[in-house]
Amino acid sequence: MLLGNVEFQHRHAAQLNTHAKGRVERVHGTHQDRLVKKLRRKGIISHEAANVYLRSEYLTEHNRRFARAAARKEDYHRRTPRAAELDGIFRLESERTISDDWVVRYDNRWFQLEGQGRYYAPAQGKVLVCEGRHGRMAIEYRGRALRWREIAAPAKPQVLDTPARNARPHVPIAVKKRKWTPPANHPWHQAARREAQKRASKLAATVSRPLLAKSSAAP
């Protein structure tokens, strides 16, 4: 964004009073609307030109129209945050997983975690990789900063170019199998044959009984 590097040359006004905070928020809203429109009308598209316009024209005109003298001269503002405090606020945080060799990868960069004493981060643990406003890097585990050093990217394993690797893969040829029919002397057929003989003998015995009864009843 264009306003990402615009340098606002004004005193930090951190308020403790609710009404004062509301006034500060309204002023910020005015700047976010009015300044963007004026930069667009001026045709300003670079950070350097925006900073020159901000110092030479915009702030002077804005203060002339809207600034009001305070009723009391006492300064009730809180102190300006230190640079270290601002770096802990305005930063990008990304969660990463520690590998088994205590290496953290972030943005195609590799960071080797060093010995941490009692407060060590276990492998496969989650850490926060923090990138500050000026590119300062920090790695934190449960709110504690870890010591680290950047290392080169690990080399990829080389694959040997061998004739066996370049050979065409063997594709098996599909062979149509014939349906197998068991022979007559197969045990499957013998069991079926015995079962058929048993049923035939039962049927013969059932038919022969009435015939014997009729022959015995004849004079």
Percentage of the chain modeled with pLDDT above 90? 27
Instruction: Summarize pLDDT for 114-158 with one digit per residue, the tens.
Output: 887 776 788 899 999 999 878 889 999 988 899 999 999 888 777
Residue 7's pLDDT is: 42
> Which secondary-structure segment (H or E) carries 141?
strand 137-141
C-alpha span between 152 and 108 (Å, rounded): 10
pTM of the shown model: 0.43
Whose structure tokens read 């062979």? 175
Burial of 111 (0-12, 13-18, 19+ CB in 10 A): buried
Is residue 53 over pLDDT 90?
yes
Residue 31, Cβ neighbours under 10 Å: how many? Answer: 17
Q: What average pLDDT is seen over the chain?
A: 79
Percentage of the chain modeled with pLDDT above 70? 78
Residue 151's pLDDT is: 93
Instruction: Summarize pLDDT for 90-118 with one digit per residue, the tens.
Output: 889 999 999 999 999 999 999 999 887 77
167 or 144: whose pLDDT is higher? 144
* Contact in structure between 139 and 130 (CB atoms under 8 Å): yes
